[in-house]
Amino acid sequence: MIELFKASRHWVFDLDGTLTRAVHDFDHIRRELDIPPAEDILTHIHRLTADEKHQKTERLNELEHFYAQQAQPAEGVELLIRHLHKRSCHLAILTRNTRPFALMSLESIGLLSFFDEACVLGRDEAPPKPDPAGIHCIKEHWGVNADSHTPVVMVGDYRFDLAAGKSAQCLTIHVHEDDQLQWPDLTDYRAKTLVDIHDYLRQ
């Protein structure tokens, strides 16, 4: 399996909680938007009437702007991204956030220059994960098609990231420090931090 990861020159990353430290308080966001505790935020908003959707989207954007301003680099992020850059890898972001806030976060953690803006996709550019459409858009931009057998890697901290990756025929890496949070059926490699991924690739 490690040879497949080493061979890949195409890497898609989730952003919040993966390349950045997890700062989003989703319970607070749900309370602010009057969304039930167990319900997915974007799915809930999508089902609303046009007026309600506009109102809650505006408030969600305000909250996410606040969190984007708080972005801090995850452990090992610069080490991993620079390693992949030196290997001439193509790098992309697929986030359930918006592209402008994703770019703001990347700038805050000093990694904006490593990503082509066209390869930073948010919920306005593609249906949100776990829908794989965003990965397919990125692969098309890279000229990677299903018949090429070119390995593409999806890295994320949550099952939506991994499910999107699997649906798009990607290798998947789940990165999270909590050993209790695992989805083995969706995960090809499990890492606690991005440092682990960097070290794994250098074996």
| CATH annotation of 26-69 | 1.10.260.80
What mean pLDDT do residues 178-188 have? 96
DSSP string, 1-19: -HHHHHH--EEEE--TTTT
User: Which strands form 171-175's sheet, in the order they lie side by side?
Assistant: 120-121, 90-94, 10-13, 152-156, 171-175, 189-191
**For residue 33, with 0-12 CB atoms within 10 Å meaning exposed, 13-18 middle and 19 or more buried, which class applies?**
middle
In the prediction, which pLDDT does 100 show? 95
Model pLDDT, residue 20 = 96
Buried/exposed code over 118-133 (b: 16+ C-beta within 10 A; e: otherwise): ebbbbbebbebbbbbb
CATH class of the domain at 2-22+73-201: alpha beta
- Take residue 28 and report the two structure tokens written for it: 């607070």
Query: What values do phi and psi take at 8, rounded to 5?
Result: -75, 130
Q: Could you read off the pLDDT of 61-77 as tens digits, one per residue? A: 899 888 888 899 999 99
Q: Where are the domains of the chain?
A: 2-22+73-201, 26-69
pLDDT digits (tens, 9 = 90+) for 24-69: 788 888 998 999 988 889 999 999 999 999 999 999 989 988 888 8
pTM comes to 0.92
What distances in angstroms separate CA 68 from CA 13, 24, 78, 176, one per listed residue? 16, 9, 18, 20
- Over residues 155-177, the pLDDT tens digits come to 999 999 999 999 999 999 999 99
| Element housing 138 (H / E) | helix 133-142
Q: What is the pLDDT of residues 75-90, one digit of tens each?
A: 999 999 999 999 999 9
Inter-residue contact 23 to 72 (CB < 8 Å): yes
| DSSP annotation of 128 | P
Tens digits of residue pLDDT in 109-147:
999 999 999 999 999 999 999 999 999 999 999 999 877
The whole-number pLDDT of residue 1 equals: 82
Q: Residue 2's pLDDT is what? A: 87
Confidence of residue 106 (pLDDT cuts 50, 70, 90): very high
Return the pLDDT at 96. Answer: 95
pLDDT at 26: 81
